[in-house]
Amino acid sequence: RSAGWRKAAGGMPHRTELYHEVPPTCWPIVYSPDYNITFMGLEKLHPFDAGKWGKVINFLKEEKLIADDLIVQAREATEEDLLVVHTRRYLNKLKWSFVVATITEIPPVLFLPNFLVQRKVLKPLRTQTGGTIMAGKLAIDRGWAINVGGGFHHCSSDKGGGFCAYADITLAIKFLFERVEGVSKATIIDLDAHQGNGHERDFMDDHRVYIMDVYNRYIYPGDGFAKRAIKRKVELDWGTEDTEYLQKVQTHVEGALNELRPDIIIYNAGTDILDGDPLGGLAISPQGIVKRDEAVFRAARSHRIPILMVTSGGYQKRTARIIADSILNLHNLGLIDKELATSDAKNPKVELMIRESILDLTNLSLQ
């Protein structure tokens, strides 16, 4: 059966639009203008820059890295897609505006009719979630992928919070496990300033998923139960700066990949570690963030593991520029390259296996 089908609990396949074929001319960069939350200025009541995703894309266009027809257009995750992880009970709860107001931390949402909340707040988050699922498949096909949104790491199958209404990281991994042959182990490298308690709760007893989490120990969510799922836990103090941070990230990323060789890395690249972020409480410079992303992509490349990056938290106006600068840096260093993206590239691990098989056959014929 094709990768687009999954056997649901009842044995009936569920058809998804999220694993459609992407033209080889496209970069594996996923985005949609629908990501951005704009509604009567209400989005300004949250410290989150609710238009940051579009700004990242505009910066990349200005630098001539990408153009509209080279971006993979994200599609909205349907209810059927979401039910791969979420309980129906939880999805029904999102039909209450006060629940969404609590999750997104935008109190006035409480007073809006739910059809508006669905269209103006939840649809952008569902589209970003679809983008993460799509980027998971792209990463396997091309060796790397970036969803310019997503990274809703506080949401689990039955509970949202911290601006996270859908568990996109869990969904991307479950989709890959169920639909893509040869993908049976994943490593989450969560470098957002906050603990990623959503995916931790979802994968609590799942030995196929290795979680590394580096976060400020003193801030939200402080989820002691979820911490039990972290295989490599790095708890930071208030005001941690570049040198200590980068050294810890490099050491532990290397350690994590040596401990378990995954079939894919999901990299939660939150920029709320930036100095001055009102919620992160760390003191990393813009250059430090660029160096961090570089370190993670270098490790993925040297271990020949496909990597999916999501942008996650980041609450300052200058965040979008830093994300764009980081993507440009990865490109300049050849860590994300157009050759791989525009040739009909396959999974580098598969290529390696084919090469090794050819060598083995050659050696046999020489003996």
Residues with catalytic roles: 154
DSSP codes of every residue in 188-203 = EEE-SSS--HHHHHHT
Structure tokens at 126: 């569902």
Distance CA 131, CA 133 (A): 5
Nearest residue to 253 via CA among 174, 191, 208, 308: 191
Which tokens belong to 215? Answer: 């976060």
Question: Which element (helix H / strand E) includes 214?
Answer: strand 209-216
Angle at 91 between CA 88 and CA 96, to 5 degrees: 130
Per-residue DSSP letter, 164? B
Please answer whether residues 247 and 291 qualify as being in contact, where contact means their C-beta atoms are separated by less than 8 angstroms: no
How big is the CA angle at 135 (ends 123 and 143), to the nearest 5 degrees?
Answer: 170
| Structure tokens, 217 | 């120990």
State the amino acid at position 209 in one-letter form.
V
- In the chain, % helix, strand, coil (3-state, to 5) comes to 45, 15, 40
DSSP letter for 20, please: -
**Among the residues of 111-167, which ranges form H helices?**
114-117, 123-142
DSSP result, 273-333: TBTT-TTT---B-HHHHHHHHHHHHHHHHHTT--EEEE-----STTHHHHHHHHHHHHHHT
**What is d(CA 339, CA 90) in angstroms, rounded to the nearest whole number?**
42
Specify which residues 190 forms β-bridges with: 213, 268
